[in-house]
Structure 1
Amino acid sequence: MTQPASPAKHDAPIPAAKPAPDKGSWQRPLGLRPDVRNLSLLGVLAVLIAVGGITKPDEFLATSNLQLVLTQASIIGVVTVGMTFVITSGGIDLSVGAIVALASVWATTLATQEYGFAGILFTAVIVGLGCGLVNGLLIAYGGMVPFIATLAMLASARGLALQITDGKTQMVTVNSVLDLGIKDAYILGIPPLVLVFAAVTVVGWLLLNRTTFGRRTVAVGGNAEAARLAGIDVRRQRLYLYLLSGLCCGIAAFMLIVLAGSGQNTNGNLYELDAIAAAIIGGTLLSGGRGTIVGSVLGVLVFTTITNIFALNNLESAVQQIAKGAIIVAAVLVQHRTLRGGEA
């Protein structure tokens, strides 16, 4: 009687099935944990405050100066919140400064000011959304590279702003708008513009970290093709992101109108560089897939404090730009090192 063949003694055992990957694993940042990174930025900010307090104690630590720092940080901070979403998705927006300029001058024309506070605010927001819509359509549905599309918007918006103003400053005559910038409007010593920035920051944090929209943004930035195969409409998501960036620019333009009391075609100069730099040093990955609103806000505060310290000490703006550039390079190098360490 034939015996059944026994299994070979040297057959390799069948490997156990690998556990399914955690669905949320793609959201985990590599390298430094967000809390460690934010604590590091807080440490840098504390050092800068100490430097300012030592070099110019009377001027820097004055309540009026601290209010000024927060107010200046608020305008670029709102722009940075929108920029953080765009960069997290793997995109870039070089047109934010020009959009702020265009929105500010369009909202301060005599025809617009006839409609008062609501007319100025509505115009600034609509112009920002309109520019964001153009950017989004060109990039998401036109197939243009974000760098090129937003660079074209930068040139076009600056040119249109110059044409509207004819190179002149447009003064605001609506008292209800100007009153927001005076000390009588401060709430418990906090300027209204700072409260607007705080509200935008909270909404941005919730949107990025607690909603499907935020998860889709991270997914598109991490791997757009994988996001598409997972059922995400990548093109529509990108359109929404540039609309969001345009909305933030419109809000920032209105805040700038309140602060300056005027609209100029030179408004928002280099805002795009400041916003990108603040987001990067805050921990947002330039290649996409990771973003942090809290880190971006801390980055804005670091740069604004540096600017204020340099101004109080009468240091040349060239030295200030060199210092900012060194911080950006250091932040990018840290990102690369931590990413390589996380992938090892």
Structure 2
Amino acid sequence: MSTTTETQPSRTVYTRPRRSAMKWLLDAGLRRNMGLIFALLLLCALGAFTAGDRFADSNNMMTIVRLAAVTGVVSIGATFVITIAGIDLSVGAILALSAVWATTVSGQAFAESSSWIFMALTAMAVGAAAGLINGILIAYGKVVSFITTLAMMAAARGLAEIISDKKTQIITVEPFLKAVGGDVFGVPVIVLIFILVAIGGWVLLNRTTFGRRTFAIGGNPEAARLAGIKVERHTMAIYALAGLCAGIGALMLMARTTTGSATHGTGLELDVIAAVVIGGTLLTGGRGSIFGTVLGVLIFSTLTNLFTLNNLSLSVQLVAKGAIIVSAVLIQRQLARRAQRT
């Protein structure tokens, strides 16, 4: 009687190789933004050389980030807009309208009797509502984003002047000024808000279905529609998000200046678009970078601080800004080509 022994076929277990910390950082977008990092480091070196300890002082570093906070928060929202190949020229005017609406006499009186949070919610609600109007007109009214937001820029600024009677409204709600304009362990609250919004924006754009749909619409709206994405509804939500960020920027500026004025945010849209574009977000849509946007904002804020410390004119500063934008874009393009070869 013979016996047979059955042997099980050996199995090969495949394991995913563990990525090093450096590899993870490169995959997270560090390589794409090396041009911006180089430009920022170059500015810091130039500041240390020309202004010495005045520039390298920790208080001055915090001042740079504090000045970048408002523009940075608004730029986060604009990154989503430009990623879908849109444009928003109204963010500065929406910020002004939000600030003025939240600092009216009646609004401050209600905040005094209830809670300072009412002022913050008012600013964010007005910003989101204005952005929502932009989104509805663009997505469902089929009006070009440039025209829609240009009209909103004029209308929001005009409405802010009507509400404030072209006067600066002084904030008297002390709890609001202490809460939003204060510090937490030596770090200004507006800087913490900037950090939180940047982290939230990065997660939303890179780790959620909302972000994937944003990239898809920016790359090819028709293909996105055929894939089942509700392009109109998503576009409307994107502009509402940009308006919300403008509203958050408004309450930050209110706390920093202790005022609400129709002149708040004048020219802000140009700084925002420039920061987003040099940060690697394509004007043609389909690619966006929150990390790059933050670097772009910090570059402009550092440049402004550097010129202030060295008593240089605004005209020279504008020329330098233009040169930095071109240089950063050229360096990024060169690095992108090298990455494709490898």
Q: What interval of TM-score do these two structures reach, taking the shorter chain for normalisation?
A: 0.7 to 0.9
Given residue 255 of structure 1, which amino acid in structure 2 is its aligned partner? M
Letter of the 2:83 partner, please give it: T
Q: Secondary structure at the match of 1:91?
A: coil
Superposition RMSD on alpha carbons, in Å? Answer: 2.0
Q: 1:334 and 1:40, CA in 2 relative to 1: closer, same or farther beyond 3 A?
A: closer
The 1:149–1:336 alpha-carbon spacing in structure 2 relative to 1, beyond 3 Å, is: farther
Task: Give per-residue Cα distances to partners, 1:94-134, cap 9 Å, x unaligned.
Answer: 00011001111111111111122122111101110110011
Q: Cα deviations across residues 204-240 of structure 1 (Å, max 9, x unaligned)?
A: 0010001000000000000001111111111111000
Report the Cα offset of residue 338 of structure 1: 7.4
Amino acid at match of 2:215: V
Q: Is the 8 A contact 2:224 2:231 kept in 1?
A: yes
| 1:57 aligns to 2:52 (yes or no) | yes
2:158 aligned with 1:192, yes or no?
Answer: no
Matching residue of 2:206: 209
Question: Counterpart of 2:323?
Answer: 326
User: Superposition pairs for residues 11-22 of structure 1, below 5 Å?
Assistant: none
The normalised TM-score by structure 2 is: 0.86
Counterpart for residue 282 of structure 2 = 285
Would the aligned equivalents of 1:285 and 1:335 in 2 still touch at CA under 8 Å? no
Deviation, structure 1 residue 334: 5.7
- Asked if 2 retains the 8 angstrom alpha-carbon contact of 1:132 and 1:244, the reply is yes
Of residues 239-248 and 108-117 in structure 1, the stretch that sits farther from structure 2 once superposed is 108-117
- Alpha-carbon distance, 1:156 to partner: 0.5
* Structure 2 counterpart SS, 1:114: helix
* CA distance in 2 between partners of 1:108 and 1:321 (Å): 33
Q: Tell whether the 8 Å contact from 2:64 to 2:301 is kept in structure 1 after alignment.
A: yes
User: Residue 152 of structure 1 aligns to which amino acid in structure 2?
Assistant: A
Paired residue type of 1:110? V
1:329 Cα offset (Å): 3.4
Query: Structure 1: how far apart are the matches of 2:160 and 2:133?
Result: 16
Aligned equivalent of 2:142:
143
Q: Could you report, residue by residue, the CA deviation over 1:30-83 in whole angstroms, capped at 9, with x for unpaired residues?
A: xx9932232332221111111111211232222322221111111110000000
The unaligned stretches of length 5 or more in structure 2 are 1-26
Match of residue 27 from structure 1: none
Residue 332 of structure 1: how far off its partner (Å) = 4.8
Of 323-332 and 241-250, the range deviating more from structure 2: 323-332
Aligned partners of 2:32 and 2:261: how far apart in 1? 37
CA contact (8 A) 1:103 1:125 kept: yes
- Cα distance between partner residues in 2 of 1:51 and 1:340: 28
Q: Given that residues 280 and 331 in structure 1 are in contact (C-alpha distance below 8 angstroms), is that contact kept between their aligned partners in structure 2?
A: no
Is it true that 1:127 corresponds to 2:126 in the alignment? yes
Name structure 1 gaps, 5 residues minimum.
1-31
Q: How does 1:102-113 map to 2 (within 5 A)?
A: 102-113=97-108
TM-score by length of 1: 0.85
What's the offset of the Cα at 1:150? 0.3
Q: CA deviation at 1:340?
A: 8.3
Against the structure 1 CA distance between its residues 64 and 105, is the aligned structure 2 distance closer, same or farther, given a 3 Å change threshold? Answer: same
Residues in 2 aligned to 1:178 and 1:62: alpha-carbon distance in whole angstroms: 26
**2:286 partner SS:** coil
Which residue identity does 2:187 align to in structure 1? I
Tell me how many residue pairs correspond in the alignment: 311
Partner of 2:92: 97
Which residue does 2:301 correspond to in 1? 304
Q: 1:237 to 1:334 in 2, by over 3 A?
A: farther
Q: Do the aligned partners of residues 342 and 68 (structure 1) sit closer, same or farther apart at CA in structure 2, a change above 3 Å counting? A: closer
| Cα deviation digits, residues 273-318 of structure 1 (max 9, x gap) | 1111111111111110000100100110001000111111111111
- Read off the aligned partner of 1:139 and give its amino acid letter: I
Shift of 1:144: 0.5
Paired with 2:145 and 2:79, the residues of 1 have a C-alpha distance of 15
Separation in structure 2 between the aligned mates of residue 39 and residue 97 of structure 1, nearest angstrom: 29
* Partners of 1:125 and 1:33 in 2: CA distance: 30
Counterparts in 2 of 1:1-344, with a 5 A limit? Answer: 34-116=29-111, 117-180=116-179, 185-332=182-329
Could you tell me how far apart the structure 1 residues matched to 2:63 and 2:340 are? Answer: 42
